[in-house]
Amino acid sequence: MSSNLENELKQLIIDTLALEDLNIADFDSQEALFNGGFELDSIDALELGLAIRKKYDVRIDAETDDVEKIFASVAKLAAFIESKQALNPNGLEGRYE
């Protein structure tokens, strides 16, 4: 798993959710983003999902049963993005469901 991607995601979270009081060093890649970790909420997840779609051309379907697992931590999110990009390295589809 790419620590570069994890760092990019940390910065994306900070920028997307306007968490100006945090920097990437404040994030442990294994720490929960929701439910006891950074305490992000469903609106944050939607905003973050849109930002990920725009930046990485990866769509996270909010209706999937795996959405909580995907957003469990920065490390899990990075692994999901990498797996979807590996399935479609040329970005021709632009969506993953």
Backbone torsions φ then ψ of 95, nearest 5 degrees = -145, 145
pLDDT of res. 76: 95
* Residue 42 exposed, middle or buried by CB count within 10 Å (0-12, 13-18, 19+): exposed
* Residue 13 exposed, middle or buried by CB count within 10 Å (0-12, 13-18, 19+): buried
pTM summary value: 0.83
pLDDT of res. 15: 95
Render each residue's pLDDT in the chain as its tens digit; 97 residues.
468 999 999 999 999 999 889 899 988 999 998 877 777 888 998 999 999 999 999 998 877 778 889 999 999 999 999 999 888 766 544 444 4
User: Do residues 44 and 51 touch, judged by C-beta distance below 8 A?
Assistant: no
User: Do residues 80 and 70 touch, judged by C-beta distance below 8 A?
Assistant: yes
